Amino acid sequence: MSIEDFDYDEEEEEEWEDKFQISYTTGKPSPMRTRRKKVIPLWQKIEQLKDEAILKRQTELDDYSYYD
């Protein structure tokens, strides 16, 4: 589909221009700017893993607790 065949509104065009920046050498949209992940301290990672393990253990026990 060529650009001439594509019928679009100006609003859609503005939205598209906001999301992509055209690379003038290839004509393809350049990738979005990546956002860095926030660096989590080691103690916070450990706490998250503990919380996930406790939650997983609780859900596993709750699923079969009615058999007891």
The pTM assigned to this predicted structure is: 0.37
Q: Which residues of the chain have pLDDT under 70?
A: 1-35, 62-68
Instruction: List the end-to-end C-alpha distance of the chain, in Å, as a whole number.
Output: 64
Strand partners, 29: 22
Coil/strand/helix, residue 29: strand
3-state helix, strand, coil in the chain (%, to 5): 55, 5, 45
Give the pLDDT confidence score for residue 45 in this predicted structure. Answer: 93
Mind listing the pLDDT tens digit for each residue in 10-24? 555 555 555 555 555
* Per-residue pLDDT, 21: 56
